[in-house]
Every structure is written in structure tokens, then in C-alpha cells.
A and B are shown apart, each in its own frame.
Chain A
């Protein structure tokens, strides 16, 4: 035990670990706040779909020799709006719209990677992410985007609650449902683009879904659900990073497994309370 504590103390002194913890905690907070609304709107897989689009946009950026984040943010934001419009206008259910855009993203990414060649190693590193290699710019962007998510969800909390609970009623009450839906998916796209660096394309949606559904298992009120989802997410990142350092496991996957542990704990606690 003393050895583990010593390892954690040692890890905490490294600048890359400090950056990882700051970026990871803010990222987790942003994802979990949005996650509660997205899961309740049955749009939980939007993170998965947008992450697959990010795979294509990173391939485009590498092909053009540009910064992946600069290319990805506008293109993934556009993809999020496309999902929303397909869902609203083309009579395609939300999950099918996500599947459509997601498979298109993956296909474009794979074709660019196979025809261009030469950057496959870089591209595939985005599939699994590496939180320990986040740059200072990425940390600042993550902090900025998360503060934006927290500010918007706080200011529009009541509107978001109404839309999540009963969209028709929200519309009758004069809430600008369409505009708020647009803001929600664009925020999701921003957080996903930053999230793929941390846990990778394959796992980023878990940061959106898992803390939200874990909190939903045991909480009875809306505010408490958001607060607990945020807590689960942040603790998962901190525990996941140190655990991965001590056990020499990939950090993104370890964070997701800790999140899954919280889900199992919440699930069992809910069952115990009920019986």
C-alpha cells in the first residue's frame, strides 16, 4: 500500500500527469453535464456517432498537414447539426440518424487513411487516445469548453429540464426548443472532439453515457442527478489516471472501467434500496 501511495505521489509531480488530471476532470465534468440531457433525450449515442466523424476529420487534417483540432471542431459541429436535421426533417429516428452519420464518418476516414497512407500510425492513435500526452493548448481548450457547457446548462437549466421532461409542453410554454436542441448538439460535438484525445474515438461516448446512467440509477431529483453524474465522472478520471499509472494500463480504457464500476455500484445499490 505504501508503495502505491509513493507511486501516486511520484506521478503527481509530473507535469504531464497534472495536465492530464486537469484536462480529464474538466472534460469529464462537461461530458457528464451534457450526458444527463442527451441520455434523457434518447440521444446518448450522439457521442459515439460524432466520435466516428472525428475519426474522418482527423484523417482529413493529417492529409492536409493541419492541426486535427482546428479541422475537427467545425466539421464535427456541422455533423451534429446534420444528425439533428435528419432526425427532425427526414423522418429518421435519432438513433438511425446517428448511425447514418457515424458510418459515413468511419467510411470517409478509412478511405482517406488507405489512399493517402503514411500517417496511419498517427490516425490510429486517435482511436484509443492518450490523456497523458495532452498539450497545454488542449488543456486550455478543454477548460474553456467545459466552462461554456457548465455556464449554458446553468443559465438554460430550466429550459433544458422542461425539454427533457416533456418537449411538447416546453414548446407550448414558448421555450425555443429548436434553438436549444441546436446548442446542445453543438456543445456535444465540441466536447467529443476534445474527448477523443483523452479516451479515443472508441470510448469517448462512454464519458457522456456512463456517469449519466450511473447517477440515473439512484437519484430521484434532476439537480441531484446532474451533480452526482459530475462527481462520478471526475472521480473516475482521477482514479483512472492513477490506477493506469500504477498498473501500467492504458489510461483511457482504465477511466472507462472505473466509470463502469460506478455504474455497477449504482445499479446494485438501486436494487438493494428497492428490495
Chain B
């Protein structure tokens, strides 16, 4: 039986009077691997920011009937932000310092790190294959390496819900495949619920089990079988629907 993890009701977000998202309502179940797709400016990142409480919104967002703050306090959310938009290349931090910072959420005051925290960081780095980068400065790593370090940070506190905002942006094909496989493993083997934001519908079709398609409002939400059999979507996407469904 599926258990509801995230419930969104009538979510609307406006920036300076311009509506970026309009009346979105949907549920995500525990263990789901959901792809969030849409063209540039369709509101994907805005939706993620609303889910994470980073922008003001109208409507309700609850995590197992609890607010984000209550949920984060007990169950933890992992978040991989959109490619390095924030990263100062001269920031003086090693990859390990960045990864271990992921546990700060779950520490009580005063937050001092113990051996378990360092072991958790090492495990997350091993999982992402970045152990050999531990002492390198984050700004001196390649885009793919930085992305894997940030994903290790998102995983270090073993989150139940992982949000990835355009995680493969700027990565080479090999790094992209590795990242998708790692995320798939987390979902299948560890039962982590995933929300993967991408404008690459082909990748979403290949790796995720459900898809949300946004165009400031909810165009589609369901499984791929439903998407592929929907005549409404055939009208909306035209040849694109065939591309996704046959996973070329």
C-alpha cells in the first residue's frame, strides 16, 4: 500500500505580481521516483523552492500532514541545488568540509561533530566515488566532481526525501549516466523518495517512475504508462510523446 509523503494543495507562487505557478495540487508517495519536467521558465525551480520553504507561496504543502520544519526535524530532506548557482569558486572549503556540513541539520545545540558524523561523510563520499577528492578545495574541482560532492552532502544525513534540481546540467555524458545510476540505486535499494527536476524529458522517461509536467500549471502527473496512453498528451506533445515513451 502506498504511503503519502508529500501533499500539495492549490500551490501558487507569484513574483512581483507575475504568477510563476498556478494552483498546483498533487501527492507524492513514499518510495516514488518522480521526474519534474517542463520548458525553461515553466516553474520547476520555483516549485522546488516552494517545497523547501525558500519562497513565499499560497496554498498548502505538507509532509505526512506535518509542516516542512517539523518534517525536517525528524526525517530530513536532501537537496541538490541547481548547478552551482551559489558556489563561490574561491570559497575556502575542502570537499570533505562541504560533505560533512550536511549533518548540521540533524545535530542538537551545540553542534559539534563526532566520529559518527565523519564516518557518515566518508560513507557518502564512497557512495559517490569522491573519497580521493576529500582534501581538495571545492572550487578547484570539475563541474561533475562538484556535483557529486554536493550530492554526497545531500545524502550524508540519510534523507528520506531527496530533491535534485537539474543535477546533470553541464555534466559530460559519462558523469550524467553515473549520477542517474547512483540516484536510481538510492531509490530502489534504500527506498529514498526522489524528485528529479530536469528539462530533459528523455532522461526522466528512462529513469523515473512518474512524471510531473509543468507549464506554470500542472499539465500532467502520472506514470509513464498513463502518459504514453493519454491522447490529451499526444495532442500536447506531438512527436515528443513518442520520443519519451519509446525511451530513445
Contact = CB atoms under 8 A, between A and B. Distances in A.
A175 B104 contact: yes
Contacts of B77: 172
A216 B105 contact: no
B98 interface: yes
A171 B69 contact: no
A43 B96 CA distance: 26
A156 B94 CA distance: 19
A56 to B, nearest CB: 33
Contacts of B110: 155
A117 interface: no
Given A155-B110, A169-B81, A174-B72, A225 B92 contact: yes
A171 B92 contact: no
Interface residues of B, number: 34
Interface core residue of A174, A219, A222 (most chain B CB under 10 Å): A174
Contact of B94 (A167, A171, A175, A221): A221
Interface of A is mostly: helix
20 contacts: A158-B104, A159-B104, A159-B111, A161-B93, A161-B97, A162-B101, A166-B81, A166-B86, A169-B81, A171-B53, A172-B52, A172-B53, A172-B54, A174-B73, A175-B104, A175-B105, A220-B92, A220-B136, A221-B94, A221-B97
A219 B73 contact: no
Interface of A: 40, 155-159, 161-162, 164-175, 215-216, 219-225
Nearest to A228: B92
Contacts of B107: 158
A41 B98 CA distance: 16
Nearest to B136: A220
B54 A158 contact: no
A218 B186 CA distance: 38
